[in-house]
Amino acid sequence: MKKETRKEQIIQISAKLFKDKGYAAVSMRDIAKELDIKAASLYNHIESKQDILKIIIISLAEEFTKRMTVIYSSNENNISKLHQIVALHVDIAYRNQYEMASLNNNWMHLENGITYYLELRNSYEDNFRAIINNGVQSGELINSNPEVTLFSMLSTLRHLYLWIPKMEEINPKELSDNLSKVLINGILNK
């Protein structure tokens, strides 16, 4: 197990604080206090408070977009792709509970990098939308409003991080299977 660098510690504790109070309400003194150092010392490891936020959000957004592209480009059927999207979100949410909050709620505080973030998010959503539309066209999915289906699935998947801590008795595999059933069987044309 590799030892965690000071920089990694700062990123991690910041993500936790950003989740609890939001980017703007967390001060450099708050972050430093959690690490038992003074705020000025943080600047030996990171460039600025903005720098911390950017690292948290962009690295996670890039992972989502890359893995979505892989799913979209595969040769599976569209129902199978939707199952894989659910599994993707469950996997990332379990390993990045704090970071997910910034992705959802703090991206508007990005100064440099907000355009790039929005490009990543749009690419992700476009692929998701295309899979749903293809599923409707092929008859795999019922012909209801695709935007509503997209919105419903995305809202659930993006906020998994809020509920995972409350569902301690369930493991990632079970959650993924259970969610797939709830989210997808409802839109199957059977």
Partner DNA sequence: GTCTATAGGTCGATAGAC
Partner DNA sequence: GTCTATCGACCTATAGAC
Nearest-angstrom CA–CA distance, 137 and 72: 16
Q: Candidates 27-35, 91-99, 127-135, 155-163 — which segment interacts with DNA by CB under 7 A?
A: 27-35
Minimum Å gap between C-beta 127 and DNA is: 34
Structure tokens at 157: 């998947």
Greatest C-alpha distance within the chain: 61
Q: Candidates 13-21, 24-32, 54-62, 133-141 — which segment interacts with DNA by CB under 7 A?
A: 24-32
Structure tokens at 174: 């079970």
20 lines the binding site for DNA (CB under 7 A)? no
Residues 110-149 that bind its own copies (CB under 8 A): 142, 144-145, 147-149
Minimum Å gap between C-beta 72 and its own copies is: 21
Q: Specify the residue, 11 or 68, whose C-beta has the smaller distance to DNA.
A: 11
Dihedral, CA of residue 119, residue 121, residue 124 and residue 130, to nearest 10: -80
21 binds, among its own copies, DNA, none (CB under 5 to 8 A by kind): its own copies
Residue 14 dihedral angles phi and psi, to the nearest 5°: -65, -45
Closest to 144 in 3D by CA, of 76, 152, 181: 152
Rule CB under 7 A: which residues touch DNA?
A: 6, 26-30, 32, 36-41, 43-45, 47-50
